[in-house]
Amino acid sequence: MGAFTGTHFFTHLFGCLLMTINRYTAACHPNTYSLLWKPKIVNLMLIIEIFISFVVHTPLFLVNFEYQWIDNKWVRTGRSRPIPYARVQSNVVVIVYEMASVTLIILTVIGIAKLKKQLLWREMVSFVCWGC
């Protein structure tokens, strides 16, 4: 169950990162947006995202849980071997994702603000030149 949770978590993280990149390219690089975000490319990215999420967590599928018979019931006592690499890996991926996502969101907001400022300036110039 823990492996599926990690797989879904990574799929969610990568999906959110793809959405952030999508919005960044749409706002800041509109000329390349239509080249990068064609349906075939998007579907391929989604398949790769899910594949990577499962491959990264494959070792967790292979680690067995240990149980003991205690007080007339089975009690889970832990895993057959420790999994510290999975915890470190998840933490590193989350930190890198958050840094990349926040950076792209900030760049998107700055790009939108610059565009808005340019449009406002053009409107003011056209009002002054042709509005009088």
Q: Can you spell out the DSSP letters for 59-118?
A: HHHHPPEEEEEETTEEEEEEESS--HHHHHHHHHHHHHHHHHHHHHHHHHHHHHHHHHHH
Residue 40: pLDDT over 90: yes
SS3 state of residue 1: coil
Say if CB 50 and CB 11 are below 8 A apart: yes
Say if CB 18 and CB 49 are below 8 A apart: yes
Contacts of 42 (CB under 8 A, 6+ apart): none
Distances in Å between the Cα of 15 and the Cα atoms of 10, 39, 100 are: 8, 15, 13
Q: How many CB atoms lie within 10 A of CB 14?
A: 19
Tokens coding 3: 């492996």
Higher pLDDT, 45 or 122: 45
pLDDT one-digit tens code per residue, 5-25? 777 888 888 888 999 999 999
pLDDT one-digit tens code per residue, 41-65? 999 999 998 998 888 877 777 777 7
Task: Indicate the pLDDT class of residue 124, thresholds 50, 70 and 90.
Answer: low
CATH number of 2-130: 1.20.1070.10
pLDDT one-digit tens code per residue, 106-120? 998 888 888 888 877
Q: Where are the domains of the chain?
A: 2-130
